[in-house]
Amino acid sequence: MTADSSFSIQAEKLTKKFGDFTAVNEITMNVKRGEIFGFLGANGAGKTTAMRMLCGLSTPTAGEAVIAGCNVYKEVEQIKKRIGYMSQKFSLYEDLTIVENVEFFGGIYGMSRSDLKNKSEALITKLGLQNEVKKLVGSLPLGWKQKLSFSVAILHQPEIVFLDEPTGGVDPITRRQFWDLIYDAADAGITVFVTTHYLDEAEYCNRISIMVDGSIAALDTPTNLKKKFNTESMDDVFYELARGAKRGDN
Amino acid sequence: MQTSFSSLKNQLFSFVRKEFYHVLRDKKVLLILFGLPVVQVLLFGFVLSNEVKDSRLVIVDMAKDEASRQLTNKFEASRYFETDLISANEADIEVAFRRGKIKAAIVFPSNFQYDLQHGNKTQLQIITDGTDVNQANTINGYISSIVYNFVSESNQQTVPYRVVPEIRMLYNPQLQGAPNFVPGVMAMVLMLVCVLMTSVSIVREKELGTMEVLLVSPMQPALAIISKALPYLLLSFLNLLIIIALSVYVLDVPVKGNIFLLISVSTLFIVTCLSLGILISTNTNTQQEAMFVSLIGMLMPTMLLSGFMFPIENMPLALQIVSNIVPSRWYYIIVKDVMIKGAGIESIWMETLILGGMGLFFFVVSMKKFKIRLA
């Protein structure tokens, strides 16, 4: 597979097996630079495993992938420098203040103190958190925390940011604000790779893929998918695909 | 190269600073870190001593002569006894024992002085409360040494041919409890703080979900481990100084050997314990689990198998063998030798090597484990 610099993520027949169980089965996708790519699928469909491989957290069993221009087998350390990650669990330190969190996460990406100082000031102004600077993160409302978490994930200006169900448990207004941040990031040239269970959010994406039983069952723009399945809503598309699934919670 | 070095420095600096925030903001952790050593040292120093002080002693003096009075004076002068003179009959003694009022009784026979000066044999009855065997033995020892002392003083001129054994307890002439337990408490506290705190602090990141974010970051696992352990190394070092200061200034147990040797070897022990803590954290997933393993797996053996509470020589062979893998056993020997006996490196090099070997082993294994988890 040749690396194409217009793509941030290129995966070809990427597979992960745990013993006899094939968690991810030959998934192939190309995500363009600056694209917002939705990664959908029912629980247990293999989304998290696929994402872990793309982040360099898990070595694929077979297949190939180039992430931010780096080979997923050989250049894991390079990948880590070029991606940002926000997990579905809230993952800032609650016993640290906003600034301390920003300084820590910037620091482990190797950012210098002066660089960090400017970045964290800009971040706080952008989020309108000037009055909360000295507060511990634990005392902030969930919506703020998630926005902060996202801003921290893109602090070091990664090429791609991976978001694992970033809006779980957040109210609709904050979700909307959160998506504004995602658009800003995409406009700034950051590729956004996002998993979600909210199908209205899927409509905000440039393209989406839907995983069923470890494979990608559909991959296209939301409009094209709705056309293809001859329906008005993404809910129906998802239901149509996912109801045949053998794996899952039930 | 310059940039990668400065980014490493930034990573290390930010991580260590973050760890300090965690520790300094958690009052419970602070309490365990600094309250525990102080409480333990003072507890063992003053309360849990195997010295028996101020035992109530009843003296039944049937002789009422000069010799009996002289000996009685010696008992009164001893800090181990609080004497109570009752001239009454021996039946009262049993009543006093039964009520638990007294720990020992001494009965002078009526012709005490006469026998002492004329006969070869003088009898003196010593009665102790046998329900607590250890205490009774200790008190017997105290009484015997006072009597022996008295006899040898008064007989110096009169009997020329005698073997006078001069008993000296080396390194601890007053048979104080403190010199014996300070090394033990040092081993216990350092073990507890290093192993427990480190393992819990790493596992907490797993529980909170921040570990995932750390693993996605370009931070090298080795560097993450080192920055995790560094603050605890510093805090344990501070702890070590506190314990030494407490034992020297509060318990009057001086450091006989080279203090720098003591501190360096203790630092080695701290590093060993930190590696052990990291190893535990790589094998556990919840804070409770980590705490449980640290307490049951580390603290209990330290208390029971390091020789601090029970002599290793008296253990069954199987336990003696097991005690060899308890790091605190070796550290306990080192501290006892350096601090109490004043020994130098030449007598503790073997223990030091064993301790260092263990530390290296734990470190290498935990590094391996940490990396495997990443794959």
Report the alpha-carbon distance of residue B44 to residue B6 in Å, rounded: 48
Distance of CA B287 to the CA centre of its chain: 28
Is A214 part of a structural domain of the chain?
yes
Please check whether residue A24 is in contact with residue A50, taking contact to mean a CB–CB distance below 8 angstroms: yes
Q: What is the pLDDT of residue A158?
A: 93
Helix (H) or strand (E) holding B216: helix B210-216
Q: What is the pLDDT of residue A97?
A: 92
Is A248 part of a structural domain of the chain?
no
Give the bridge partners for B55, in sequence order.
Answer: B81
Please give the residue of chain B at the shortest CA–CA distance from A86: B213
Q: How far is CA B317 from CA B21, B324, B330, in A?
A: 47, 11, 18
Report the alpha-carbon distance of residue A213 to residue A235 in Å, rounded: 18
CA angle B170, B171, B177 (to 5 degrees): 110
pLDDT of residue A190 exceeding 80, the answer is: yes
Of A109, A111, A114, A143, nearest to A129 (Cα)? A143
Tell me the average pLDDT across A199-220. Answer: 90
Q: How confident is the model at residue A36 (pLDDT cuts 50, 70, 90)?
A: very high
What ipTM does this complex have?
0.84
Would you give the DSSP letter of residue A138?
Answer: G
What are the sequence ranges of the domains in chain B?
Answer: 2-48+177-374, 55-155
Tell me which of A34-38, A69-73, B100-104, B279-283 is least confident: B100-104
Contact B213 A57 (CB under 8 A): no
pLDDT of residue A47 exceeding 80, the answer is: yes
Contacts of B158 (CB under 8 A, 6+ apart): B117
Is A29 part of a structural domain of the chain?
yes
- Which of B16, B18, B201, B220 best probes binding to A when mutated, by most A CB atoms within 10 angstroms? B18
Contact A56 B15 (CB under 8 A): no
Q: How far is CA B163 from CA B118, B152, B156, B302, in A?
A: 20, 10, 11, 43
Amino acid at A73: Y
Give the bridge partners for B108, in sequence order.
Answer: B61
Contact B22 A95 (CB under 8 A): yes
Q: What is the pLDDT of residue B360?
A: 92
b/e burial code for range B253-292 (CB count within 10 A of at least 16 → b): bebbbeeebbbebbebbbbbbbbbbbbbbbebeebebbbe
- Within 10 angstroms of residue A65's Cβ, the number of other Cβ atoms is 24
Q: What is the pLDDT of residue A42?
A: 84
Please give the residue of chain B at the shortest CA–CA distance from A73: B375
Report the alpha-carbon distance of residue B253 to residue B260 in Å, rounded: 17
Q: How confident is the model at residue A248 (pLDDT cuts 50, 70, 90)?
A: low
Q: How far is CA A20 from CA A14, B239, B245, in A?
A: 16, 51, 60
* SS3 per residue for B235-294: HHHHHHHHHHHHHHHHCCCCCCCCHHHHHHHHHHHHHHHHHHHHHHHHHCCCHHHHHHHH
- pLDDT tens by residue, chain B, 375 residues: 345 788 888 888 899 999 999 988 888 888 888 888 888 888 877 766 666 777 888 888 888 888 888 888 888 888 788 887 766 667 777 877 887 778 888 888 888 888 777 766 777 888 888 887 777 888 888 888 888 888 777 765 555 555 655 666 666 665 566 667 788 888 888 888 888 888 888 888 888 888 888 888 888 878 888 888 898 899 889 989 998 998 888 888 888 889 999 999 999 999 999 999 989 988 888 889 998 988 888 878 888 888 877 778 888 888 888 888 888 889 998 998 898 888 888 888 999 999 999 999 998 888 887 765 554
Rg (C-alpha) for chain A, rounded Å, is 18
Evaluate if pTM is beyond 0.90.
no
CATH number of A115's domain:
3.40.50.300
Q: Could you identify the residue written with the tokens 């209205």?
A: A200
CATH topology of domain B55-155: abc type-2 transporter like fold (3.40.1710)
Q: Does A56 touch chain B (CB under 8 A)?
A: yes
Taking one residue from A and the other from B, the number of pairs with CB-CB distance under 8 angstroms is 83
- Which of A91, A105, A149, A163 best probes binding to B when mutated, by most B CB atoms within 10 angstroms? A91
pLDDT digit string (tens) for A145-183?
A: 888 999 999 999 999 999 988 888 888 888 899 999 999
Report the alpha-carbon distance of residue B270 to residue B255 in Å, rounded: 19
Of A187, A250, A225, A184, nearest to A38 (Cα)? A225
Contact B216 A90 (CB under 8 A): no
Q: Does B7 touch chain A (CB under 8 A)?
A: yes
Residue-range definition of the domain harbouring residue A86: 7-242
Is A120 part of a structural domain of the chain?
yes
- Within 10 angstroms of residue B232's Cβ, the number of other Cβ atoms is 25
Tell me the average pLDDT across A186-204. Answer: 91
